[in-house]
Amino acid sequence: MFPLRPHFSAFKIVYRLVVVIALYGATPPLLAQKHSLADQIVQQKHTDDLPEIINRKRIRALVTYSRTDFFFDDNGAPKGLQVELLHEYEKQLNQGIKEEAERVRVQFIPTTFDRLIPDLLEGRGDIAAALLTLTPERENKINFITSKRQKVAEVVVTHKSISNISSVEDLSGQQLYVLRSSSYAEHLRVLNQAFKQNKLKPIEIVEAPPHQLSEDILELVNAGVVKITVVDDYRAKIWARVLPNIQVLESVAISTDNAIGWGIRKNNPELEKSLKVFLQKVKQGTLLGNILFNRYYKKDRWIKNPNAQAERNKLLALIHLFRKYGDQYNFDFLAIAAQGYQESHLDQSKKSPRGALGIMQLLPSTAADKNVGIPNISNKEDNIHAGVKYLAFLRDRYFTDPLIGEEDRMAFSWAAYNAGPAKVRRMRDLAKKMGLDPNVWHSNVEVAAGKLVGRETVQYVDNIFKYYIAYSLVGDDYVKSVSDSGPSMPK
């Protein structure tokens, strides 16, 4: 059984981290050589300084795979805010060097946010290339490359329906959903200590799964799935321009006057000196405002809230079918429901331009195939049955390797449902060649997927996980609605 449970407190996806190397700009004759080099680098850890980095001709940047910081576009090229910054730094390192073979190249190493500093300290990368907030705890571990003149506040962001928060004290007793291993969580814990001294109820701090970043959380707030979060003020104000249902409470800040920047190890003084020279040449305000907003968001990507009352009613009318066939084919029924919501918003009347039908958006030819054997998918039950049976076929035929964890088996099955099992096989093959773990989806095979087929399949899987979280947040209600005799509709 897919192990993610209806209670969100139990939704703790633990993704195995394997260092990933994304080499860009290689011409076909060089691919074999570069992949061999990637394999060597994966097995090594380096903590040495800039002279040795330049001698290796590669500087390794730890990045988080996201729609703004790092991703592959539809042509397979790396894009993102951090990519832009790192390319500029690469130019600085190569000033005056004309021979291509002598030039230093950036290697992008995607990881999860909570692994940025641990991976840096272990020598899996040379720069933690994210806009990290300086905190005493972090400064004890790493050095920061930052302009301390640019101050950042961590502000409360809520769904527009929330109207009872005008001060930090109003957060007492509230649930806040924040980035895992973030300064937000750290500062909220400090705030809770003050609340305890003042005999106020503590804030319930919920840290997001490892693969979710601040932009994902803001999207959930916009959809009404999450009510309250904390985000850096500059990031919140940028995304408020495209997410109409969030409100940025600039006067409710849990921390102010923070500096942000890249992180490096403390024993790399030459790298630190070089990056500080680079910092003086970078107009961060322009990059943050123009690049992030104008290049790296697409308006049609935002999810909707599957827990809105009308949407909730649709699920309650179908939940006994998701439960029935989820149990029959060994799936968590809320995960299957989340897929159905992504496919059609649970609309049986929907038909795609390619002829896919109904709630599970399955082609009649696929449903009629001997591996599914349900030729009539025009009614809701047979449509859901056929979709779940086909998903089980994909899982059981193509993803039975014991090295694949249950969460990743589910992600691969969804990716195959969307793109076809042959393409997922190619994604995994490419991932292995790139130095990625072919048995892990997040920050690994999804990176290869973005390079191979663009963002559609990556976004498809990501959205289903978000819908699953949404259903999990109110999972008790959905579980109670299921009985042997069918669904219990709301009154």
Region of 127 (left: φ > 0; alpha: ψ -120 to 50; beta: rest) is: beta
Q: Determine what percent of the chain falls in helix, strand and coil, rounding each to the nearest 5.
A: 50, 15, 35
Task: Scan for tokens 């932009």, then name that residue.
Answer: 215
C-alpha 128/C-alpha 60 separation (Å) is 9
C-alpha 35/C-alpha 39 separation (Å) is 6
Query: Which tokens go with 265?
Result: 């190890």
Which 8-state DSSP code applies to residue 328?
H
Bridge partners of 159, per DSSP, are 246
On the CB side of 286, how many CA atoms lie within 13 Å of its CA? 5
C-alpha 281/C-alpha 348 separation (Å) is 56
C-alpha 18/C-alpha 13 separation (Å) is 15
Residues 6+ apart with CB under 8 A from 428: 412, 438, 439, 445, 448
Q: In what order do the strands lie in the sheet with 58-64?
A: 105-111, 58-64, 127-133, 260-264, 143-146
User: Given 154, 343, 407, 446, which residue is catalytic?
Assistant: 343
Q: Transcribe 145-185 into DSSP letters.
A: EE-TTS-EEEEEEEETT----SSGGGGTT-EEEE-TT-HHH
C-alpha 238/C-alpha 268 separation (Å) is 33
Region of 50 (left: φ > 0; alpha: ψ -120 to 50; beta: rest) is: alpha
Q: How many CB atoms lie within 10 A of CB 256?
A: 11
Residues 6+ apart with CB under 8 A from 93: 54, 59, 104, 274
Catalytic annotation present for 407: no
Contact 218, 247 (CB under 8 A): no
On the CB side of 201, how many CA atoms lie within 13 Å of its CA? 9
Query: Which tokens go with 175?
Result: 């649930």
Residues composing the chain: 491
Inter-CA distances, 122 with 119, 189, 221, 439, Å = 5, 27, 35, 22
C-alpha 270/C-alpha 416 separation (Å) is 46
User: Which amino acids are annotated catalytic?
Assistant: 343
